[in-house]
Amino acid sequence: MATPSQVHIDAALTNVSVAYRNTHFIADLIAPVVGVRKQSDKYFVLDIDRERFRSTADKRAPGAEAAEVDFSVSTDSYFCEDHALEAVITDEERDNADPAIQPDIDKTEFLSDKILLNKEIALANVIAAGSLPGTTLSGTGQWSDFTNSDPVTAVEDQKATIQRAVQQIPNTLVLPYEVYRKVRLHPKVLDRVANVKLGTIGPSILADVFDVEQVLVPRGLKNTANPGQAANMVYIWAKNAFLCYVPPRPGLKTVSFAATFQWMAAPGSLSGHVVEMWREERRKADMVRVQRYYDQKIVAAGASYVWKNAVA
């Protein structure tokens, strides 16, 4: 009787494969995309001195002129840099690929994922750099100290700070996964939901606890190992909690912590995304290139507050 190995030759499955991909990117959620028609331009900043909030005597005597008031107008600018990566697809690779491998699609997705990864890392680095309003926690002040810390009060206190700075109540709390794991088990949080909700405390319940519109839990990872070494995966957003105001939609006369200016009319683009493929005959290969033109820009630093090293 023939054995299974004699009647079957191993081949790659056509309906199953393994790919390692990042999920839970949040860069565009806290720095919403603003589509622009030019690669660089300026935008207006109205009433930076908050004259609108200054009380001015407005009583007018008969025949007298009304008190004249006005506000200042300034400008800021953006420049959408070209972020591009390319890969080679050789004739040999394409001709020998099993059905489960689709070189054109796989390489395009790979390049797109890496550009999105860089975008996420860049914004996380800005928040971690220390130039935004915030504080660095340590010891008993860290939210992983269940006895002495109080993350709910800490967030509530900084809501007032942000409102005084930009006249908007912050609506978004970012709890990177390592922070989220601790905060959802913190006694101050558990006490607030013990008699109200049953089940696992997730982002939506935490949004109720902290009284914000949304709690975002970024879980994106980056590989810090050198090429050729075993992968060393670390969380992109580390242990830095972050409170900010994000408008329902970017537009005129709105405040936002940050914005992503994206050049929608870039040559050959579809809504700011460019995918190009061309033949390199001397290499007997096709090339694929993915491009995005954008500028991540802090628009209103006062609309944010950062707790660095929020947990141990």
Domain positions in the chain are 4-308
Mean pLDDT of 132-142: 96
| Calpha distance 216→242 (Å, rounded) | 10
DSSP label of 37? S
Mean pLDDT of 169-193: 95
Mean pLDDT computed over every residue of the chain: 88
At a CB cut-off of 8 Å and minimum separation 6, what does 46 contact?
A: 71, 72, 73, 253
| CATH superfamily assigned to domain 4-308 | phage-related protein like domain (3.90.1690.10)
CA atoms lying within 13 Å on the CB side of residue 175: 23
pLDDT per residue over 251-274, tens digit each? 777 889 999 999 998 888 777 888
pLDDT score, position 197 = 62
Contact (Cβ atoms closer than 8 angstroms) between residue 28 and residue 257: no
Name the nearest CA neighbour of 303 among 175, 147, 158: 158
Contact (Cβ atoms closer than 8 angstroms) between residue 292 and residue 263: no
Is the Cα torsion angle 23, 305, 152, 210 positive or negative in sign?
Answer: negative
Mean pLDDT of 40-50: 84
Question: 5 pLDDT exceeds 80?
Answer: no
Strand pairing report for 221-223 and 233-235: antiparallel
The model's pTM = 0.85
